[in-house]
Amino acid sequence: MSSAGIYIHIPFCRSRCSYCDFATGIYEGTLAERYVQALVKEVLNWQDIEHPAAIDTIYFGGGTPSLLSASQIEAILVAIHTRFVVTESDVEVTMEMNPGTVTPALLGEFQRLGINRASFGAQTFDDRELARLGRSHTAQDTRQTFRYLRDAGFSNVSFDLIAGLPGQTLDGWERNLDESLALRPEHLSFYLLEVHEGTPLAEHIRRGMQPQPDDDLAAQMYELMLDRAGSAGYEHYEISNLCLPGFESRHNTKYWMGAPYYGFGCSAHSYDGNLRRWSNERDVARYVDLIQRDASPVVERIELSQHQARAEALFLGLRMMQGVDLRQHHLQFGADVRESHEAELARFSDAGLIEYDGDLIKLTRSGTLLSNEVFSAFV
C-alpha cells in the first residue's frame, strides 16, 4: 500500500473574507482550545481503518492554522505520532499560514516542531484588491511574513494567488506575478475566483457594488501565469499548481493520485485509497460535542462502485500534467478507456483538449482551461 497523508482542519480565521465558503469562523481562544482537545482525542481514538498506511505527509489546513499556539500544534503532532506510524526521516509537514498572523518567534517554534513547508495565502499584492476581498492583511504584511519565513529557515514555501478578481486588470495581474516570482517561493498555487452563493461577495456583485468577474480575462491571466512562471523555471505539474523542480506538494499529490489520506477535525474528508470515502461533521460546535460524548464525528460514508473508482482515477489523474497511463489504468480497473470512451476521446482530441504520448493521455494547455468539460465525460 502507498504511504498515506494526514489532513488536520483548523477552522478559525482572524476575520472572514468576503468570498469564503469554507468551514471556518472567527478565532476565539476558549473555543480553539476546546477544539484542539477534541482533535487530539479524535486522532488518538481513531479506528476507521484497521491497518492504516504509514504516514509521510501531514497537512494543517483551514482556516488559518497559524493562529494556534506552538503548544497546541505540538499536542496535535504528538497525538499523530502516538496513533500512527510516521516515516520520521522524510515526512512533509505543511502548515497554511496567512500573512501577518505569525511572529519570528512563533515561526521558530513551528520549525522546531518539524513544520517544514509553509503554504502562504498571499492572494494578491494589490492592497485595494485585498481590501475588496475582505482579507485582513496588506501586501506589506505578505512581504514581511515571507522574510520572517526565510529567516526562520523555511526553504519550502508555497504562495496562493487568486486571479479573476472583480475589477482586476491584466496589467495588475502582471505586477502581481512579477512580485511573486521575484520573491521566488518554491511553489505557486493559482486559483480563479469562484463566487459562491450566500457569501458577501456574491451579494455585492448582485447589488452592483462590485463588477462581475470576467471569465475570458481570467483565462488570459492563467495563460500569462503559465508563460511567466515557466520562463522563470517553474514546472506546471497540476492544473492549478507550479513549482521549482522537486518541490511538488507531496500531500496534495496524494489527492490526485488516489493515495490514502485520513482527515481530522470538522469537515475533514478521508479516503482509504481504495473504495471508501468518509467525512466529518462540518459545524465546529457540533463536532466538539460529538467527540466529547465519545460519538463518531463521521456524518457521511460513501462506498464507491468500481465504475466510480475508475472514473475518479481518470479525472483526478488528468489534473496532473504528466497525464494518466492508460495501460496501467486498464490493468488496475479491467477496462480500456480507449474502448469505453472512444467517441469522447476522439472529440476531445480533435478539439485539441487532450493529447496522447504513447500510453499516456494528457490535457493540453487548452484542455486545462476547459478541464471540467473533459472530466464530465468520464463521470
Task: Give residue 358's Cα distance to chain centre.
Answer: 30
Closer to ligand SF4 by Cβ: residue 121 or 323: 121
Closer to ligand SF4 by Cβ: residue 65 or 317: 65
Can you tell me which residue has the cell 523542480?
A: 245
Q: CB of residue 73 vs ligand SF4: minimum separation in angstroms?
A: 17
Region of residue 101 (left: phi > 0; alpha: psi -120 to 50; beta: else) = alpha
Q: % helix / strand / coil in the chain, to the nearest 5?
A: 45, 20, 35
Closer to ligand SF4 by Cβ: residue 3 or 240: 240
Residue 47: which residues within 8 A CB-CB, separation 6 or more? none
Q: Which residues make up the interface to ligand SF4 (CB under 6 A)? A: 13, 16-17, 20, 22, 24, 62-64, 98, 121
Q: CB of residue 52 vs ligand SF4: minimum separation in angstroms?
A: 28
Q: CB of residue 206 vs ligand SF4: minimum separation in angstroms?
A: 20
Task: Give residue 81's Cα distance to chain centre.
Answer: 23
Task: Give residue 223's Cα distance to chain centre.
Answer: 21
Q: CB of residue 271 vs ligand SF4: minimum separation in angstroms?
A: 22
Distance CA 374, CA 354 (A): 9
254 grid coordinates:
496524494
Q: CB of residue 331 vs ligand SF4: minimum separation in angstroms?
A: 40
Please choose, from the candidates 127, 175, 128, 121, the residue with its C-alpha nearest in 3D space to the C-alpha of residue 146: 121
Closer to ligand SF4 by Cβ: residue 101 or 156: 101
Closer to ligand SF4 by Cβ: residue 125 or 237: 125
Closer to ligand SF4 by Cβ: residue 16 or 286: 16
Q: CB of residue 221 vs ligand SF4: minimum separation in angstroms?
A: 19
